[in-house]
A and B are shown apart, each in its own frame.
Chain A
Amino acid sequence: MQLTGNHVVEASPAKVWALLMDTDTLARIVPGVTKLEKIDDTTFKSTLGVKLGPVSAAFNGNLQMENVMEEKGFTLKIQQNSKVGNASAAIEISLTPLEETKTAIAFNGDVKLSGMLATMGQRLIGGVANTLSKQFFSNMEKELLP
């Protein structure tokens, strides 16, 4: 299932980049994250909870950043396991400066669900992903407030 979207935030790419690279902030703004632990510069261990229609799942897994280009973007590889099935994704995230204090953040990627998650949640994942990304950007905007 393909995930795409973009959002414009009132901040410079440098500021947005700094925020995305900060583990504690990231843990606050990514919806559902209950724990985010930095393993090395590009690898995190995570615990998160997501509700997909009738299925609530607590995920454990890894987040891995690849193709990191300072202030421009990276590919986020996600492997999350739960008791009701697993989710994996590779999402390209790119930052484009619009004006001095405006940045367009775009994401594009593929999500694969398995097990009960796929059986019960496939039809709902588009809507849920939409809601989660809205929450993410609104949380990010709060963090960026002066």
Chain B
Amino acid sequence: MSTTHGLIGKSVKRVEDRRFITGHGKYTDDIILPGQTYASFVRSPYAHAKILSVDTNAAASMPGVVAIFTGADVENVNGVPCGWQVNFKNGHHMKEPKHPLLVADKAKHVGDAIAIVIAESQAEAVDAAEAIVVEYEELPAIVDASKAVEDGAPQVHDSAPNNICFDWALGNPIEEVDAAIAASAHVTTLDFVNQRLVPNAIEPRAYNASYDQYNDKYTLYTSTQNPHLIRLLMCAFVLGIPEHRVRVVGPDVGGGFGSKIFHYTEEALLTWCTHKLRRPVKWTSTRSESFLLDAHGRDHITKADMGFDASGNITALRVKTYANLGAYLSTFASCVPSYLHGTLLQGLYTTPKINIDLVAVFTNTTAVDAYRGAGRPEATYLLERLLDLAAHEMNMDPAELRFKNFIPPFDGVTQPGYQTQVALQYDSGNYHGVLEKGLAMLGYEDFRKAQKEAANNGKLLGVGFSTYIEACGIAPSAVVGSLGARAGLYEVGHVRVQPSGKISVYTGAHSHGQGHETTFAQVVADKLGLPMEDVEIVHGDSEAVAFGMGTYGSRSLAVGGSAIIKSLEKVIEKGKKIAAHKFEANPEDVDFVEGRFVVKGTHHSAPFSDIALRAYVPHHYPAGLEPGLDFSSFYDPANFTYPFGCHIAVVEVDKETGKVQLTRFVAVDDVGNIINPMIVEGQIHGGVVQGVGQALFEGAEYDENGQLTNGSYMDYCMPRADDFPMIETASQVTPCPHNPLGVKGAGEAGCIGSTPAVVNAVIDALWSGGHKVKDIRMPLTSERVWRAMQQ
């Protein structure tokens, strides 16, 4: 297939940005349907409370009210499901308490929905919701996952004793790991919290559900990352509607970061309501609701021990983690701390013995699920903090310690993939390369000199490293199926060549900021030798796209792009047959070169558009060949992809105030082949900012009653442009050996690599001033850093 056209690898400007930056994007909240009604919710102000009574009488007679439904009305409707089954160590299924569309008996977190009010206008819905009187009996709440498992702790669900959803272990037998740790010359131990984060997509969640009774057809507009998955979960598990009666559209979506993967109760409830009312029902989350209801990220409490021999080789890693799942199991909540976290604990290192012991716990808090990186940032944070701390404790250089322990380079083609101790087989890697490049960009030796000089002058400079790996391109269906996934994770790519030779591409991946309309068009135009304007990328509509699994886990290009390539190959193969007929040649003698079908060794050639027209006007056509040029393909990846990289942070810490200033950030990422370097760099920048946000600024804070005390932008600190130096990025390219584009994925890399680099840099700065601090709890506020220096 031709790749000489040269669009692949070019920083083409994003075609979708014109509509976004001029305010012409079309989001769910922009959609107003004939007969539109609006919903508002009554939500529990308590984290844990019995609902004694719900009085809707006054509200029902208020102006504009169309209907009110409470928990009693949906008691016989299923709750929203979890998409991944993890089993207890003893083989029993995880606990899956019902997550009802509205709660009738007991509220289990602040914001749990008790009633929905539907009215002619948004204002009338809000007013009526406020007039509903709910009588509660407040119960003691539990917030901390490690305390929730203790006897006597408040119970979130009766069906989950000690609040345990499941326990789980992975890796080498614990006895072997214990023995290896005990025999180690040095053991570095870290007790730490990977704090809870609020996803903060700029567009709040919004849904608009309608029902056409004359055609028995539902339409749900939803701000989602995966419309087909929502349709599958909602139809099959919640409402029991045949999926051909339901169209789900995810129009323009203003950011997801994972939080819009999941099937939320409101999606199903609005769809249920529209059937009852025969009128469209819309709900757009307020920002306060977003803080309380969009599934949060992280929230691990971990103790980890890493053993080393006398020369600094890692001997073993032992991890004990409590993962807070919140009050209900969100769609992928169960796999994030287990299969997306435990499986990454090999990192880039040859650690021979690894064991993770995990307890996944219910608490009276917002549900926790995938958030940019999903499990892999937690694994990376754990490993990279241990590595830098061990270097301090053993008085070794943190870069040297890494070089000593790196898995040697392997390309996955002539050399086999690397089999880890924790189930995965890495595809290809050159880990020395990214660290060497990072050190060169930083000017490492000069930095260490400057750091010493600064320390002599009473200034604290620090450098922190993070050499990360992630499992992306999610995911080979058979593998994830064997691990408990309740769906396949292939992707669909449909290429429809129009009679004029223009191309419509239908992808099951969904763009909510990633730039698919540009990148995918680059790939298709490049492969067909066409200008990009001749290619349209269609996504997000279950009625237009045959099927799809959506966008998360840095999968769109690696899996969705590969499906499109499969269809392009079919288009070209058929085109060759049509061209061969035209020139009275053998199809084997026809090449496709830079947009033309050429008979080898002749001057006979036809442009792509000519062959396309012949396919649709088949007057002179090969016998037995179907007309048309239209192919759909499913691509199921052979393996995950494994992007990796090296992030280095430089910070200055103010001795008097503890304030941390990030002065440099170097990111060398290997995401395999790159289609659009500008988009990759943008993804890295965005990811780094979110990762640094966790290190320095962000964190959801609950009080002991389960109240989120920083649920607004007054109190929840987001990273801002002026907190950052220019991020210095570079690429290394180690192609993925098992997909046709050789791509690995770039969406999460920045967020996975950056967090530990920054925390390590602050710790390094403190050690340079003689403060031998092991850990500071994130976010590293001035106060926390200052207090650490006073110890």
Binding site for B on A (CB under 8 A): 53-54, 83, 85-86, 88, 112-120, 122-123
**CB pairs A–B below 8 angstroms (7 shown):** A88-B138, A114-B46, A115-B43, A116-B288, A118-B45, A119-B708, A120-B712
Given contact pairs A114-B110, A119-B708, enumerate 16 new A-B contacts (beta carbons under 8 Å): A53-B714, A85-B45, A86-B46, A114-B45, A114-B46, A114-B705, A114-B707, A115-B43, A115-B110, A118-B707, A119-B291, A119-B707, A119-B709, A122-B703, A122-B707, A123-B710
Give CA–CA (A119, B110) in the complex, Å: 10
Smallest CB gap from B134: residue in A: A81
Give CA–CA (A88, B705) in the complex, Å: 12
Give CA–CA (A54, B288) in the complex, Å: 13
Smallest CB gap from A84: residue in B: B45
Residues of chain B within 8 A (CB-CB) of A114 are: 45-47, 110, 138, 705, 707
Minimum CB–CB distance from A137 to chain B (whole Å) comes to: 28
Smallest CB gap from B45: residue in A: A115
A-B contact count (CB 8 A): 54
Chain B 24-49: CB-based contact to A (< 8 A → 1; otherwise 0): 00000000000000000001111100
Other-chain contact of B45, A53, A116, A120 (Cβ < 8 Å): A116
Minimum CB–CB distance from B28 to chain A (whole Å) comes to: 24
Chain B contact residue count (CB 8 A cutoff): 21
Residues of chain A within 8 A (CB-CB) of B292 are: 119
Q: Is the interface of B mostly helix, strand, loop or mixed?
A: loop
Residues of chain B within 8 A (CB-CB) of A119 are: 110, 288, 291-292, 707-712
Smallest CB gap from A121: residue in B: B709
Binding site for A on B (CB under 8 A): 43-47, 110, 130, 138, 288, 291-292, 703, 705, 707-712, 714-715
Give CA–CA (A54, B44) in the complex, Å: 20
Smallest CB gap from B110: residue in A: A115
The answer to whether B45 and A122 touch across the interface, beta carbons within 8 angstroms, is no
Smallest CB gap from A117: residue in B: B45
The answer to whether A54 and B714 touch across the interface, beta carbons within 8 angstroms, is yes
Minimum CB–CB distance from B715 to chain A (whole Å) comes to: 6
Give CA–CA (A122, B712) in the complex, Å: 12
What 10 pairs between A and B have smallest CB-CB spacing?
A115-B45, A118-B707, A119-B711, A114-B45, A122-B709, A85-B45, A83-B130, A114-B46, A119-B708, A86-B45
Residues of chain B within 8 A (CB-CB) of A113 are: 707
Smallest CB gap from A115: residue in B: B45
The answer to whether B708 and A118 touch across the interface, beta carbons within 8 angstroms, is yes
Give CA–CA (A85, B110) in the complex, Å: 10
Give CA–CA (A118, B109) in the complex, Å: 13
Q: A114-B45, A115-B45 are in contact. Are A120 and B707 (CB under 8 A)?
A: no
The answer to whether B288 and A118 touch across the interface, beta carbons within 8 angstroms, is no
Residues of chain A within 8 A (CB-CB) of B43 are: 115
Give CA–CA (A53, B703) in the complex, Å: 19
Give CA–CA (A114, B291) in the complex, Å: 15
Residues of chain A within 8 A (CB-CB) of B291 are: 119
Give CA–CA (A29, B711) in the complex, Å: 33
Minimum CB–CB distance from A58 to chain B (whole Å) comes to: 11
Residues of chain A within 8 A (CB-CB) of B44 are: 115
The answer to whether B709 and A123 touch across the interface, beta carbons within 8 angstroms, is yes
Give CA–CA (A114, B703) in the complex, Å: 10
Residues of chain B within 8 A (CB-CB) of A118 are: 45, 110, 703, 705, 707-709
Minimum CB–CB distance from B781 to chain A (whole Å) comes to: 14
Minimum CB–CB distance from B114 to chain A (whole Å) comes to: 12
Minimum CB–CB distance from B292 to chain A (whole Å) comes to: 7
Minimum CB–CB distance from B330 to chain A (whole Å) comes to: 21
Give CA–CA (A80, B14) in the complex, Å: 54
The answer to whether A123 and B715 touch across the interface, beta carbons within 8 angstroms, is yes
Give CA–CA (A139, B712) in the complex, Å: 34
Minimum CB–CB distance from B142 to chain A (whole Å) comes to: 16
